Structures are given as structure tokens and as C-alpha cells.
């Protein structure tokens, strides 16, 4: 079985093209494979945050389908960093630089963007649909929407916003000390365990405003835990940054989003129907090409896996050190 180890802002995945397998893996097999292969200790070459599954799409004008399996085996409706790497893969497969990819709730636009530096490929992907309605997360709270408000059951001091893009996000703007403190993990582990508010869990992000057009986003991801970056969280955080800025941060302007794994740019849009959507622009790095026997992989035996690095990771790290 051929895999590519990929990352967007060091949010890393194994990309698996089901169309290249003799027999496509079942949902149950994909779940088991993710739990074993992504494990940071016993998994394949240090594991990953999840698996990106590429498959054929029956939708017209769409090059392929992307499914997202978190490291704990749960399936998510969307992955912003992952969609950039899938876009790059499909561009290579089909020779197109602008196209759509089918995801669970929408066919999303993907477009090749200018390289961030030599050998650091970049893509621009659409993040949508966006909704504040609690049932789209789902969230069970004493109100239909949660926008910049207190929820004492979560925190006595922080205000939160809840939005689906379309996977679920809970976002709080915090000062630097809180960004780096223990409260994010405390809240996120509670809301991703047994709790009456988010039965399917939720991605939780703390956001620090850096300057007029820059934020830092730290995310504890549903189904994974802390990641170097979460593309949908950075997009959702950018939306809240614009919406809560009292017009100081306008729509259609580029926002610099820093994260522990690097940085991306986002643009927040509002269409004529008043609906929001975001552009997420950032790297799509192929770290290595991997060959592993399917039966071995399903059994969690990676001792015979073949790992052939590309030369891209060094260039990515040079890019990151140049912007820090």
C-alpha cells in the first residue's frame, strides 16, 4: 500500500488514495488503520494527526473526494490543512491547478497558490459551509447560538464563540499567559469526554491578537489532542477576529495566522446571501513516500515499511525559520 506523509503547517497526515488499492478499505478498516498507524509511539514512523482518504467523486466538476479520519479513528467532516495537501496530490494526478474537491458537506474550491519559497508548495482552499446554529456542531446549551459570551460551566472568566465550518469549533480570545496556560487543555479534555454540551466533541482554540491583522491560534483538536495547527480552527478564529473587531479588521483582507507549526494566511468573505466563508492559504508539504504491506499496517507492524523522504521538509523548516 502506497502512502504519502504530508503536512500543512506541521499538522501531519498519511494520505491514502483508495483508488490505487485493489479493494478499497471499509469504514471499519479505515478506523482501525488510523488508530494503529497514527499512534505517536507505536505507529508508522512517529504516527500522525490522522489519515486523509482520497477517493473518486461522482459529483460533476470535482476531481476527487477527501475524507478525514482523526488519530482516534473518528471521522471529521472537514480538514483545512489536509485539504491543501489533497489539492496538491490531485493536481499532480490530473494536471489541473484549480478545481473542486468533494468533502462530507460541500464540494470545495482548491487552487494552487504561489510557492512560499523554493520547494515549499502552497494552496488556497475554501472553508465552508459556516454556521453559528448550535445544532450544526452539535452543541446543547441554553441558547441557539454562542457568540462572544460567557458560559460559566466552561470558564468563569473567558468568553466563547461556537461555530461549525462545518466541523465544530469553540473559540476564546485570550491574553498571552492564558494562551500558554493549562486552561485550554482542561476545558478541551472535558468537552471531548463525557459532557452534556458537545456529544460529538469539539475542537477548542485559544486565540491571541498579535496586531491589527495577525493572530496566534493554539488548538486542542477533537479526536487528536494538541496539534501544531488546525486549518479549520485558524479559519474559524479569523472569522471571529473579523466579526468581533467592530469593523477594524475588514472582510476580504489577508490575516496572518501564526500557530505552533508555522503560519498560514486567511481571508474572510461574506457572500450576497450574508453567508460567511473563508480562504485558507498555506503550505502543502510532502514529507515522504511510504510503502507498507496492508496486512502489516492493519496489524500495527511497521517494521518492514519503506520510508523514502522527499527533500521538502528541510525547505519548509528554512521557510519557517525565515519568518520567525
CA atoms within 13 A on the CB side of 296: 14
Query: Does residue 33 bind ligand API (CB under 6 A)?
Result: no
With respect to ligand API, which residue has the nearer C-beta, 260 or 301?
260
Cell digits of residue 317: 523548516
* In the complex, minimum distance from the CB of residue 152 to ligand API, in angstroms, rounded to a whole number: 25
Q: Which residues pair with 163 in a beta bridge?
A: 169
CA atoms within 13 A on the CB side of 50: 32
* In the complex, minimum distance from the CB of residue 108 to ligand API, in angstroms, rounded to a whole number: 12
Selected from 88, 222, 258, 265, the binder of ligand API by CB under 6 A is 222
Q: How far apart are CA 149 and CA 13, in angstroms?
A: 34
With respect to ligand API, which residue has the nearer C-beta, 162 or 212?
162
Residues 65 and 54 sit within 8 Å (Cβ to Cβ): yes
Cell digits of residue 69: 479520519
Instruction: Give the C-alpha distances (Å, rounded to integers) separating 192 from 84, 186, 202, 294.
Output: 26, 10, 6, 31
Burial (CB count <10 Å: 0-12, 13-18, 19+), residue 294: middle
Q: How far apart are CA 173 and CA 215, in angstroms?
A: 10
Q: How far apart are CA 99 and CA 109, in angstroms?
A: 6
* In the complex, minimum distance from the CB of residue 81 to ligand API, in angstroms, rounded to a whole number: 4
Sign of CA dihedral 145, 151, 153, 158: positive
With respect to ligand API, which residue has the nearer C-beta, 260 or 296?
260
Mask: binding to ligand API, 67-96, rule CB under 6 A, as x and -?
-x-x-----x--xxxx--------------
Task: For residue 315, say whether it is annotated as part of any ligand binding site.
Answer: no
Q: Which of residues 152-181 bind ligand API (CB under 6 A)?
A: 167
Selected from 103, 136, 232, 286, the binder of ligand API by CB under 6 A is 232
* In the complex, minimum distance from the CB of residue 236 to ligand API, in angstroms, rounded to a whole number: 9
In the residue annotation, 79 being an active-site residue is answered as yes
In the residue annotation, 38 being an active-site residue is answered as no
Query: Does residue 262 bind ligand API (CB under 6 A)?
Result: no
Residues at the binding site for substrate are 11, 70, 80-81, 167, 203, 221-222, 231-232
Enzyme catalytic residues: 79, 230
Amino acid at each position: 500500500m502506497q502512502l504519502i506523509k504530508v503536512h500543512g503547517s506541521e499538522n501531519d497526515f498519511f494520505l491514502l488514495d483508495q483508488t490505487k488499492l485493489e479493494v478499497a478499505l471499509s469504514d471499519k478498516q479505515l478506523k482501525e488503520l488510523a488508530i494503529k498507524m497514527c499512534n505517536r509511539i507505536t505507529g508508522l514512523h512517529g504516527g500522525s494527526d490522522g489519515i486523509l482518504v482520497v477517493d473518486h467523486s461522482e459529483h460533476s466538476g470535482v476531481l476527487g473526494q477527501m475524507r478525514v479520519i482523526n488519530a482516534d479513528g473518528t471521522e471529521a467532516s472537514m480538514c483545512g490543512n489536509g485539504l491543501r495537501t489533497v489539492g496538491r496530490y490531485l493536481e499532480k494526478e490530473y494536471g489541473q491547478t484549480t478545481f473542486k474537491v468533494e468533502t462530507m458537506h460541500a464540494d470545495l474550491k482548491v487552487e494552487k497558490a504561489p510557492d512560499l519559497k523554493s520547494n515549499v508548495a502552497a494552496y488556497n482552499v475554501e472553508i465552508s459551509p459556516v454556521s453559528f446554529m448550535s445544532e450544526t456542531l452539535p452543541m446543547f446549551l441554553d441558547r441557539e447560538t454562542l457568540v462572544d459570551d460567557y458560559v460559566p460551566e466552561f470558564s468563569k472568566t473567558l468568553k466563547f464563540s461556537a461555530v461549525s465550518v462545518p466541523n465544530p469549533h469553540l473559540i476564546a480570545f485570550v491574553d498571552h499567559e492564558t494562551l500558554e496556560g493549562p486552561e485550554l487543555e482542561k476545558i478541551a479534555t472535558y468537552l471531548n469526554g463525557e459532557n452534556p454540551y458537545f456529544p460529538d466533541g469539539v475542537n477548542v482554540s485559544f486565540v491571541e491578537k498579535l496586531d491589527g491583522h495577525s493572530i496566534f491560534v493554539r488548538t486542542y483538536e477533537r479526536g487528536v489532542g494538541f496539534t501544531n495547527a488546525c486549518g479549520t480552527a485558524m479559519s474559524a478564529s479569523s472569522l471571529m477576529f473579523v466579526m468581533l473587531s467592530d469593523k477594524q479588521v475588514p472582510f476580504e483582507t489577508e490575516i496572518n495566522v501564526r500557530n505552533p507549526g508555522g503560519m498560514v494566511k486567511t481571508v474572510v468573505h461574506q457572500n450576497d446571501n450574508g453567508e460567511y466563508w473563508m480562504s485558507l492559504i498555506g503550505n502543502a508539504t510532502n514529507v515522504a513516500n511510504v510503502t507498507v504491506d496492508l496486512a502489516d499496517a492493519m496489524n500495527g507492524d511497521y517494521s518492514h515499511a519503506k520510508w523514502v523522504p522527499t527533500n521538502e521538509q528541510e525547505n519548509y523548516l528554512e521557510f519557517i525559520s525565515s519568518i520567525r
